[in-house]
Chain A
Amino acid sequence: MKRLLSAAVLAAVFAAPMAMAKETVVWWDFLGGGDGVRMKKLIEDFNAAHADTIEIQATTLDWGVPFYTKVQTSAAVGEGPDVMTYHASRIPLAVSQSTLSEITPEDMATMGLSADSFAKETWDAVNVDGKQYAVPFDTHPIVLYYNKDLLEKSGLIGADGLPTGLDGKDNFTAALQKLKDDGNEWSIVQVTADGGFAFRTIYSLLCQQNGVIGGDGAWFPDDNADKLANAVQVIADWVGNGYNPSYTDYPSTVALFTSGASPFMINGVWEVPTMADLQSQGKLFNWGAIELPVLFDKPCTYADSHAFAIPNNAGKPATPEKHAAVLEVVKYMSDNSLFWATAGHVPANVAVTETAEYKAMQPQATYAKLTANQVFDPKSVHAGVASALFDAAGNAFTAAMNGETDAASAVAEMKATMDALQ
């Protein structure tokens, strides 16, 4: 009976789909870390589920400037992929270079998605001048990771099992001092060797003061330069007081946190898989991650979004069949983004974050509420990940965070660099 069944299945597999041409979708992404492994699983699942109709041919490229220049140059000569991951913050530059195709409302209807499927800021970030250029897949904010065992020892865990008493700059400083007094080598680790990376924290703290970074022509309007200096000073004080190690790079911050040398770490949600994997091997303490505490006036956290974009391949527009296949890929990924949440990212599709499965996922469900208080990069061709703004932040903030210059002159330096851009 079993043999008969498998023969029937085989016959079905060989007979039916052979007549139909299989559509291939060339896919580029820049996901090289723990999230890349999870993305490969999603792609495999897609290919298995569409074994007869669509095949994704995926390539992972280097994150940052190399990825975006490759996309730009290849799209310009019609050699870009069919679909690719894209940071929402890089869309303004891509649109100015005509690298991206518009995603029409009909496309969105085909995928069963609309503006209401996403958080307002996330949706806003993929739109330029009223046109949509990408489909948000996730939002990836920074969060505050904590070592529950060490916080408990210092009495900083509340009745609900979450860290308590951290809101307000003075309270937070008191908590850091308490952790230091209680014998921790460091109180908090935040990347201090890379001002571009630290921009995420500093920008969050600027937003917490109702501050903004403007755009071309007026980068720091009104008193925003002062507010930015306040934000930089927060980290400079952590370093100055010996709470946060100076000139510490990204891998070291993760190592200091996971080795228990520091009870707090500020980092992106993409480090969640690192913690989850270590814990499943029994090599990690009890840990969690929460929204950044409110140090100033209101809750606010920097976020960016991994989105799917379709390159504007010059001279080689996609056939309707190819376009339909691409939309099917994006729809599948969006529908199945619950698995993507295990990579730490918050799925952009609200329908997914409202499921019971997501709400049971920890610590994701705890910090996911910050999407109500998120701030994206300013919309400018000079802003976004690995942009001129990040670069200027790297130059200005690296020295200031480590006490080599004061915060005000760092902000002045950054302002001069940004104003000089043409």
Chain B
Amino acid sequence: MLRNRRSDLVVAYLLTAPFILIYAWLFVWPVIQMVMLTFTDAPLIGAGKSVGLANYTRMFKDPIFFKAIWNTSYFVLLTVIPGTAVALGIALMVSRLGGWLQSAVLAAFFLPYILPVTVVYVIWDWLTNVQFGMLQSVLEWVTGRPVNLWRAIPWFMPSVAVITIWWTNGFSILLFLAGLRNIPKDLYEAAALDGATRWQMFSRITWPLIWPITVLCLTIQLILQLKIFDQVYLFATGGRTQATMVLVQYIYEQAFQKNSSGYAATIALALFVIVVVFSVLQFQLLRIRGQK
């Protein structure tokens, strides 16, 4: 059937217009406004005076800002690759199970994922309580005395990382499991006939075929963990928040607690740039490697 290309285009524009308009109105425009905010000393509510680049010079001299960048990077390092590796390991084990047992075990691993962060916080705060926590007896083997994980600075980030992996792992496991199920069984049968070992089957079949899922998991995790806020905020409240500050928490503190939205917007923009750069870099890097 012959159709006019121009009328096709008109239809296409008409159909996408609602999305583009709403996207521009609810996303692009606020982003532009936020960038404009960075040049003012605006409080939380209302407009501020223009201050030029003062917020930027302040940011580059602010030790807590750099502390927050360091803590956020450290947290990313502790969670993204280890978390994905753990998820792959668990998925490989779960995929060997069959029937209802597999569903039950999968559900057990997925359960933490559906918990709200406040519940996660309460459970772990209780488990690790320095006076009454059940995990303190385990910790004492290592440290010799009870440790308040949420106030001892060297313990803080690794503890939050472990909890975050425990909490968010279910989703990655699910992705990996779906990927593993998509690998045709014949490949393994053929390899078995050729006398391949278990390790060879993993490194030559599973790993290359699961690689796109691994890239996806790593990218999702990276973006998610760069935006870490809730767990750190909840566990650090009242204590040494500056020593454990992460970027989103610093944005929150500046905007809502210290009433300076202009500066908060500047930090938010810095975080935006960091997220964009890292995710593009990571995705490209991993894709190139995968194509080899």
By a beta-carbon cutoff of 8 Å, the part of chain A in contact with chain B is: 65, 69, 72-73, 76, 93, 97, 193-197, 245-249, 251-252, 255-256, 381, 386-388, 391, 394-395, 398-399, 402, 417, 421-422
Contact = CB atoms under 8 A, between A and B. Distances in A.
B243 interface: yes
Contacts of B129: 249, 251-252
B258 A421 contact: yes
Contacts of B152: 247
Given A72-B45, A76-B46, A247-B151, A195 B239 contact: yes
Interface string B40-53: 00011110000000
A255 B132 contact: yes
B132 A252 contact: yes
A394 B151 CA distance: 11
Nearest to A417: B242
Nearest to B149: A247
Given A391-B241, A422-B260, A193 B131 contact: no
Nearest to B253: A391
A197 B238 contact: yes
Interface string B120-134: 000000000111100
Contact of B130 (A69, A72, A252): A252
Contacts of B45: 72-73, 76, 97
B148 A247 contact: yes
Interface string B126-145: 00011110000000000000
A399 B240 CA distance: 8
Given A97-B43, A248-B130, A194 B239 contact: yes
A394 B130 contact: no
A398 B148 CA distance: 12
Interface string B258-274: 11100000000000000
B150 interface: yes
B283 interface: no
16 contacts: A65-B256, A72-B45, A73-B44, A97-B259, A193-B130, A193-B148, A193-B151, A193-B238, A248-B148, A255-B131, A388-B258, A391-B253, A391-B257, A394-B240, A395-B240, A395-B241
Nearest to A194: B238
Given A73-B45, A252-B130, A402-B151, A193 B239 contact: yes
Contacts of B256: 65, 69
A288 to B, nearest CB: 24
A395 B242 contact: yes
A394 B241 contact: yes
Nearest to A247: B148
Contacts of A197: 238
A395 B243 contact: yes
Shortest beta-carbon contacts, A-B, top 10: A194-B238, A247-B148, A76-B45, A252-B131, A196-B238, A69-B256, A395-B242, A247-B151, A398-B239, A394-B238
A305 to B, nearest CB: 21
A234 B130 CA distance: 22
Contacts of B150: 193
Given A69-B44, A97-B259, A247-B151, 14 more contacts: A72-B45, A76-B45, A97-B43, A193-B148, A193-B150, A193-B238, A195-B239, A195-B240, A246-B148, A249-B129, A249-B130, A252-B130, A395-B239, A395-B241
Contacts of B240: 195, 394-395, 398-399
A388 B151 contact: no
Nearest to A382: B258
B238 A195 contact: yes
B128 to A, nearest CB: 11
B257 A388 contact: yes
Contacts of B241: 391, 394-395
Contacts of B130: 193, 245-249, 252
A255 to B, nearest CB: 7
B136 to A, nearest CB: 11
A422 B41 CA distance: 10
Contacts of A193: 130, 148, 150-151, 238-239
A223 B139 CA distance: 43
A249 to B, nearest CB: 7
Most buried by B among A69, A73, A93, A197: A69
B237 to A, nearest CB: 8
A417 B132 CA distance: 34
A140 B130 CA distance: 28
A395 B63 CA distance: 15
Nearest to B244: A395
A93 B256 CA distance: 12
A395 B253 CA distance: 14
Contact of A256 (B131, B151, B237): B131
Nearest to B58: A422
Contacts of B259: 93, 97, 381
Given A193-B150, A398-B151, A421-B258, A245 B131 contact: yes
A335 to B, nearest CB: 35
Interface string B146-175: 001011100000000000000000000000
A72 B239 contact: no
Given A193-B130, A398-B151, A72 B44 contact: yes
A65 B259 CA distance: 11
Contacts of B242: 395, 417
Contacts of A386: 257
A72 B237 CA distance: 22
